[in-house]
Amino acid sequence: MLIEENKKSASAKEDLGEVIKPVFVTDTTRHDTDDPAIWINSENPEKSLIIGTDKNEDGALYVYDLQGKIVADKVIRNLKRPNNVDIDYGL
């Protein structure tokens, strides 16, 4: 029975196909990163930003460039469990 289950498991892994590897990975934050959103710079899309939360009692709102590097002067720290990032244009 166990051998049959292992065969099924191995077969399922083979069916997954090609593994997609990331081109960029964001810099590490201190706690629980969550809820990214992308702000698109309409005048220069290469300067668009990724914004996400780092949930904890001393959390933060992090801003990254498109290569995943933290934009330190745009980070807002000392937020108590920040949650959910939304971007709206034209406000």
User: Which letter does DSSP use for residue 44 in this model?
Assistant: -
Confidence band, pLDDT 50/70/90 cuts, at residue 33: confident
CB of 35 closer than 8 Å to CB of 53: yes
Is residue 14 pLDDT above 80, yes or no? no
Domain boundaries, the chain: 30-86
What's this model's pTM, rounded to 2 decimal places? 0.75
Dist. CA 84–CA 75, nearest whole Å = 15
